[in-house]
Amino acid sequence: MTCEYLDSDPDDALYNLARRYPGKIAALALRMGREESTLRKQLSPAVFTHHLSPEDFIRIIELCAEANVPGAYQPLHALSFRLEHIALLLPPADVDAGEMFGQVLLMLREEGALASNIQDVLANDGKIDQQKLAEIEGHLEHCIVALATLREQVRAKHRKDFATQIPCGRAPR
């Protein structure tokens, strides 16, 4: 009997990811400086005697991302979703005012595309099929990323503009 491991569960998703690493779990264990049997037990959702640390969880994702393993961030998404949060990859923040303006325009473009997709659904049968769901979710994620990036750009500009003004008793962030 085989078990189905779901990418919507953080433990299952990490196990699936490790099995997709080039050379599978054996190569991942070697890269992490672990015994293969130990890492295999730590990763297996069916073994309750061995556990990964949060640092191990992160390191496996980092190693898989470095190796361009498809779905490298799926365990992070599954963990975030379980905790009623979302995880999004942010582009690097830039303090250039022109870039901030560009980010606002990007966000507005994505919001327009999102509104257009929702309007299409409502104008037709009002049902969201799998393709429309993927399109809408993609636009939603782009909007969220654009807003979060804009926030970081504004914060970085503030830090740059007021780098010499440090409140008493506080270290700058």
Tokens read off for 16:
């699936």
Give the model's pLDDT for residue 132.
81
pTM of the model: 0.62
Instruction: Output the tens digit of pLDDT for each of the chain's 173 residues.
Output: 567 787 788 999 999 999 999 999 999 999 999 999 999 999 998 888 999 999 999 999 999 999 999 999 999 999 998 998 888 776 665 556 667 677 778 778 878 888 888 888 888 888 888 888 888 888 788 788 778 877 887 888 888 888 765 555 555 54
User: Which of 84, 64, 54 shows the shortest CA–CA distance to 22?
Assistant: 64
Give every CB contact of residue 7 below 8 A, 6+ residues apart in sequence: 13, 16, 71, 74, 78
Between CA 93 and CA 39 the distance in angstroms is: 36
Query: What sign for the dihedral angle of Cα 18, 23, 29, 33?
Result: negative
- Strands (DSSP E) contained in 69-131 are none
